[in-house]
């Protein structure tokens, strides 16, 4: 996997728009860190699917964090 310039991703800013800016290749690099061993997993699935899956998961995590941080009634 050849590195490429990252888009202007700003994960420290409020909201989740930065998640949708992640390229499929960037998502694969993130998955590389969390799947053991990564090579068979990454080769078994198309980059577009892995990118979509990771972006989906990141959105769900962000939603859970936001609801946990929201003040109760």
Q: Are 54 and 27 in contact (CB under 8 A)?
A: yes
**Calpha distance 18→1 (Å, rounded):** 22
Which among 27, 22, 37, 26 is positioned nearest to 3, based on CA atoms?
26
If 0-12 CB within 10 Å is exposed, 13-18 middle and 19+ buried, where does residue 43 land? exposed
Q: Are 7 and 21 in contact (CB under 8 A)?
A: yes
pLDDT in tens, 34-56: 999 999 999 999 999 999 999 99
Confidence of residue 73 (pLDDT cuts 50, 70, 90): low
Confidence of residue 59 (pLDDT cuts 50, 70, 90): very high
Domain boundaries, the chain: 23-68
Q: pTM of the prediction?
A: 0.75
Instruction: Please determine, for residue 7, whether its predicted confidence score (pLDDT) is greater than 60.
Output: no
């Amino acid at each position: 996997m050849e590195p490429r310039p990252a888009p202007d991703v700003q994960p420290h800013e409020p909201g989740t728009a930065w998640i949708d800016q992640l390229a499929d290749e960037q998502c694969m690099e993130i998955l590389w860190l969390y799947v053991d061993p990564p090579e068979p997993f990454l080769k078994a699935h198309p980059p577009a699917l892995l990118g979509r899956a990771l972006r989906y998961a990141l959105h769900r995590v962000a939603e859970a964090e936001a609801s946990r941080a929201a003040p109760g009634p």
